[in-house]
Structure 1
C-alpha cells in the first residue's frame, strides 16, 4: 500500500525564506532545529521576510524570562490592522458565500472604507484602546470588517457565531463587559433561515454595559445602528492606533465541554508574526491567492483565516451548513487555491459518493488543510487520490490556546498518509515521557519546551495567573503541556493519538483512544467510533466502544466480533473493548472533536458534565446518560 500522499516540490515560499536567512541548502529538519535553537534570530528573520509593519521596532525579541512569564517584543508598537492595510491592493479582499451562491464581495478599497467607517462610528461611541467590542454573527464579511475596525482602535474583539444560542453567547461575551455589540438577526442552515432575533434580545439584556448595538442584515430589530449607517462615515483610510506589542487583540473562548468557557487573551504582535509565519511558510499562501477554511466565529480557524488578509490573499466566508457538496461548491465558485476542512466533512463527502475533482471544477486548488480531529490514513489516501498529485493535502494540529499550529505541512517535505508532516518552525515540539525525556517513535505527551509568540497573554478573570499556569504548566514547570498523546517519528513527522486526559489505562497499559477508534473505523461497516475507559467504584474498569454504522446497517454479534478482532490485531489485545454498542450518533464539539472526556463523565453519572451549547448534537447526550444509568443499575 502506498503511504506517501505528497511528493515534495522545491518551489515554495519556505525555499525563498531559507535562502534569505542564508540556509539555502538546509533540510527542513535543519531549518526547524535552527528555528527553535536560535529564537531571536529566527523570529527577527520572519519579521523581516514578511515585512512586519512596526510603528516602533522592539528593543528585543523577548525579555529572556522563562515560560509562562516570557514577554515578547518589549518596546515594540504596532497594530494588526496596520499590517492588513500596509500596502494598497486591488481586486477582491473578502468574498461572502451563502447556500445560494456568492452574496457579497468587498474589494480592498471597499473593505478599507467600511473598516474606517465603522471605526469612526465606534470611536464616536467612546470606544477606546482596551474597550471590548463583541460580535454575534454568522460567517459573513461584516464579521471581518467589525474585527478589523475594533483592532484598528486598539479595542479588544471577541466573536460568537449565531449557531450558538443566546444563553451560550451570554456565557462567553458577558465575561468581557463589552461596550458595543455587532449582531445579526440570523443565519442560513440547510435551506432555511434561522431567526436569532430573540437570542439577540436576550444577549443585549445580558450585557448591561452596552452603549450601542450595530445591526447586520434585515431583521425585526430596530433599536440599534443599522450596518449601512455604521460603515458609511466618510473616514477615508484606516488610521490604526499603534499599541504595545502585547496589547490585547482578541479573546477566544474554549468550547466549554468540561466547564464554563475560558476566555483566552492573545496580543497583537504575537498573532501577527505567528500567522505570517504559518500562512507564508507552511501553507504557502501568497498575495492574490483565494483562501477558504470552513469555520464559524466560535473556532480559532476563523481567526487564522482572517489572517489571510495579512498576506494579501482574498478571504472567503460561508454562511450555511456544511452538507455534502456545499463546501466543494464554495471552492469551485471562488476559484479557491487554499481550502480548509475537517476530517468529518471529508468522511461525509466520501460516504456520499462524491468525487470532488470530477464533480466540481477545482482546477485552481493547490493546498487542502485538514484539522479539528485526527485525519486517518485511509481517509487521507482517499482525498489525496481524489484530488490528484498536484494538490497538497496536509493535516495539522494546534489549538485555540495558541491560535495557531504546533505541527503541520510544508510543500518541500513528503507527507505520509495519517501523519502530520513536520513540527512547525519556531515550535519546540516534543513527545515527552513522564520523566521529561524526549521520545522518538514512542507515544508521549505533547510538550513545547520554548515559548511561542502567540501563547496567551493570560486568561480573563485570572489576575494572579493561577488558572493559566494550572492549565499548561502544572505537570512540567516552565514547559507547556498541551494534553495530547503524540508520536514524533524518526522522519520528523507527527502522529496524534488523542487527548491525554482521555487516555485508556487498561491493565496498567496506557493507550490513546484514536488508535483504537481508527482500527474500528477502517471496517467498511463502521462510520464512526468512540471508546472510553471508566474506573468503577469496585475497582473495575469498563471500556465500551460506541459505533455508528454505514448504510442503515445494524450491529450484530458477527460485526461486534470483527470490531474486537480489528482492535486486537492492529492495536493491542489489552485494549479490546468490553462491549461494542451501537449508538445513534457520536457527539462532537462544534469544531469536530469527539467528546471523549464529557461522554466518559456522563457515563459515570456526573451532572453538568457538558454544556449542551458546546455540542454539535446535544440530543445525543441523553442516550449516553441512559447507557451509564443502565450500567450502574445492572452491576
Structure 2
C-alpha cells in the first residue's frame, strides 16, 4: 500500500475525548490542587506564580516517600541560588522500587528480540546485593560510581544500588572511544567502574576489553572494576561481586539537594561539561513530566531508544517511580532486513509510551513503513520525540501510518535540566509542527533581542523562575561560575537556555534549533530546523547538515547533502523547495555533496564542529563525535565543487 502524505485540513491531528481527559493524571491533579483544569494557560500561570504550592502538591500527588519538611522554596537572592525542599529527606531508589513486588520492573531486549524480564522483588534483591558489595569496597555517600555499560538490567540495578547509599551515578555508552570515556568519567574521579566488555550493534560483535583496561589505567581513582559480562584478569566479575545473602536494600536518606547523577554535554567545543543533578530535583521533575504530561500510569510500559550516556536514559529509569515497567533496549534502532525491529519488541511487550527521535521516524518514512497494517499496537497511547525538532510532515505520517488514536508529543529541554521546558499533555489537541504547551512549573518564555516577551516571532527560549531540577553545579574547579556563565550571563537572574524558539498566539511552541547554530544571512536569524524541515522531505536526500560560512561582513548558508548523485537539476529542485516552503532567505548559497554527516555520540548533528572545520579551525573535542573521521570532508569546503 502506498500512503500519500497530505496535510490535514483540520488544525488538529488528534483531540482528546472527554473520557481521556477525565481519566488523566492532569485532571486528577487539578482536582487535588483545587484548581480548574481549563483553561490550561491559567493552570500553568498558577503553577509558576505559586511555585511552592505547586511543587508541594506534586510531591503529595505522586506519593513521594520521604520527609517533605515545612519549607518548600527558599528563594535566597537570585534564581540560581533558590533552594527547593531544604528540610526534606528522601531516598531516590526507595521511590523507584516501591509498589507491588510481582510487578514487572523491566524488560530487556536487543537486536535478537526480547531476552528477559525482572520483577520489582527480583530487582530489589539484586540492588540489595550490589548495595552490600559497594559498601564493602568502600563506596560512601557522595562517592562517584561509573558505568561504561549497555542499556541492561545489570546497569539499572547498579545505578539504583549506587543511589540507594547516596553515591553518585555517571555513565557512558560502550561505543564511545577511550578519550570520549576518559574525558567524561575521568573528570569526576569515580571510585568504582561497572563495565560491559562485549556489545552488539547491527548484528556485529564488539569486544572492548583493551579499551576498558586503558580507561582504568588512565583514571587512578578507580579502585574497583566489575565486569558485567566476561572477565578481565585481576578484577571482579558480576557474579563474584553479588555473591552475598542480602535480599532487601537499606535506604539511606539524604537531602533533597544531594547529588544523584553527573551528566555530560556533547562537548564538541571543549571538554564535556559535567553537570551535577540532585536526587530530589530529578525525582520530582520526572514524576511531574511522566504523570501530568505523558500521563504515565501504573502497569504502563515505557520505552525510550537511548544509550546510557544520554539524559533520556535517567528519564526512562524514573518511570519506575510512577509504577510503570521499563523496556530496556540496546542495539541498532533498525536492521537492514528488519526496519520495524523496535516495533516488533514494542508489540510483544505491550509498550504504551514509545520514545524516539525525528531521525528515526524520518528513516521509517523513507522506508515506506506502514505499521498500522503490520503490527497490533492496541496498547500504544503515546509517541514522544526529542533530540531535534519534529517537523510537520512527520506529524502527518505518524497519524496516517502508525495509529490515529494516540498522543504525539514533541518534547524539548536538555541535559542541563534533566527534563523538559515544553511538552504535550493528555488534554491538549495535537497541532502539526507545534509543541502543545509549556510544562507545568516551568516559567518558559521567548525573549527578543530587547529582552521583551514576544509572540509570533523567533527569539531566545528562557525560563524566568526557579525549578527543582536546576543543576547543583558543574563538577570540577570553578564549577559554580561555569554554571552561571553558561545560563545566566546573558540575562542576569533569567535562565537563557540556548534554543531558538517561537511561541504562537495559541501558546504552542516551535523550536528552531540551537541558538549558537542559528544562521544570520543579511542580519535575519534563521533556525537550521527550518531548512531541515524541507530537505528531509526530498526523497533523494539521505541526510543533510546546514551551517553558515563567513562572507565579508555577512554569512552565506551552506547545505551539505548525502545523496547518490548531486546534479544541477537536483540542486535547483532543493532550492526551489526551500524557497517555496520556507522563504527566499532560507535558500542555501552553496550546496555540496558529502558521504557522511557527523553526529555526537548521542545522535545530534554537529553544525558547530562542521563550521569550525570548514573555516580551517581545530575541532577541540572530536571524542564527542561518533564519526569524527568524516569531518575531513568539510575541510576547505569553499575550494570544492558546489552546486
Shorter-chain TM range is over 0.9
Q: 8 Å contact 1:339–1:365 — kept in the other structure? A: yes
Structure 2 equivalent of residue 426 of structure 1: 441
- Spell out, residue by residue over 1:121-152, the C-alpha distance to the aligned partner (whole angstroms, 9 max, x if none): 00011111011111010111111101100000
Q: Is 1:622 aligned to 2:622, yes or no?
A: no
Q: 8 Å contact 2:226–2:237 — kept in the other structure? A: yes
Deviation at 1:464, TM superposition (A): 5.8
- Matched position secondary structure for 1:592: coil
Q: Distance in 1 between matches of 2:184 and 2:527?
A: 31
- Matched position secondary structure for 1:465: helix
Question: 191, 197, 207: which one pairs with 1:195?
Answer: 207
Deviation at 1:24, TM superposition (A): 3.9
- Spell out, residue by residue over 1:60-105, the C-alpha distance to the aligned partner (whole angstroms, 9 max, x if none): 3334442211122111111101211333432211111111122221
Deviates more, 1:441-450 or 1:527-536: 527-536
Q: Is 1:100 aligned to 2:112, yes or no?
A: yes
* Structure 2 counterparts to residues 444-463 of structure 1, below 5 A: 444-463=459-478
Q: Distance in 2 between matches of 1:99 and 1:338?
A: 20
- Spell out, residue by residue over 1:408-443, the C-alpha distance to the aligned partner (whole angstroms, 9 max, x if none): 110110111111111111111111012111111111
Deviates more, 1:63-72 or 1:151-160: 63-72
Q: Distance in 2 between matches of 1:255 and 1:416?
A: 31
Structure 2 equivalent of residue 592 of structure 1: 603
- Spell out, residue by residue over 1:337-364, the C-alpha distance to the aligned partner (whole angstroms, 9 max, x if none): 1110111111111212221232233221
Equivalent residue pairs, number: 626
Question: 475, 493, 500: which one pairs with 2:490?
Answer: 475
Structure 1 equivalent of residue 562 of structure 2: 548
Deviation at 1:581, TM superposition (A): 1.5
Structure 2 equivalent of residue 14 of structure 1: 26
Structure 1, gaps ≥5 residues long: none
| CA 1:264–1:152: 2 relative to 1, 3 Å | same
- Spell out, residue by residue over 1:184-237, the C-alpha distance to the aligned partner (whole angstroms, 9 max, x if none): 1121111121111111111111221222111101x2413222212323422231
- Spell out, residue by residue over 1:242-274, the C-alpha distance to the aligned partner (whole angstroms, 9 max, x if none): 111110101001112221111000011101100
- Matched position secondary structure for 2:35: coil
Q: Distance in 1 between matches of 2:619 and 2:359?
A: 27
Structure 2 equivalent of residue 503 of structure 1: 518
Q: Distance in 2 between matches of 1:435 and 1:341?
A: 36
Task: Name the Cα RMSD after superposition.
Answer: 1.7
- Give TM-score, length-normalised by structure 1: 0.95
- Matched position secondary structure for 1:272: helix
Q: 8 Å contact 1:58–1:77 — kept in the other structure? A: no
- Spell out, residue by residue over 1:28-54, the C-alpha distance to the aligned partner (whole angstroms, 9 max, x if none): 222111111110111011111001111
- Matched position secondary structure for 1:504: coil
Question: 71, 77, 89: which one pairs with 1:59?
Answer: 71
Runs of 4+ in 1 over 6 A off after TM superposition: none
| CA 1:387–1:480: 2 relative to 1, 3 Å | same
Q: Is 1:564 aligned to 2:575, yes or no?
A: yes
Q: Distance in 2 between matches of 1:211 and 1:586?
A: 39
Q: Distance in 2 between matches of 1:368 and 1:156?
A: 31
Q: Distance in 2 between matches of 1:35 and 1:573?
A: 41
Deviation at 1:610, TM superposition (A): 4.3
* Structure 2 counterparts to residues 46-195 of structure 1, below 5 A: 46-55=58-67, 57-195=69-207
Structure 1 equivalent of residue 4 of structure 2: none
Q: Distance in 1 between matches of 2:545 and 2:474?
A: 31
Q: Distance in 2 between matches of 1:177 and 1:190?
A: 33
Deviation at 1:26, TM superposition (A): 2.6
Deviates more, 1:576-585 or 1:312-321: 576-585
Q: Distance in 2 between matches of 1:590 and 1:572?
A: 32
* Structure 2 counterparts to residues 138-287 of structure 1, below 5 A: 138-217=150-229, 219-287=230-298
Q: 8 Å contact 2:503–2:509 — kept in the other structure? A: yes
- Matched position secondary structure for 2:82: coil
Structure 2, gaps ≥5 residues long: 1-6
Q: Is 1:439 aligned to 2:449, yes or no?
A: no
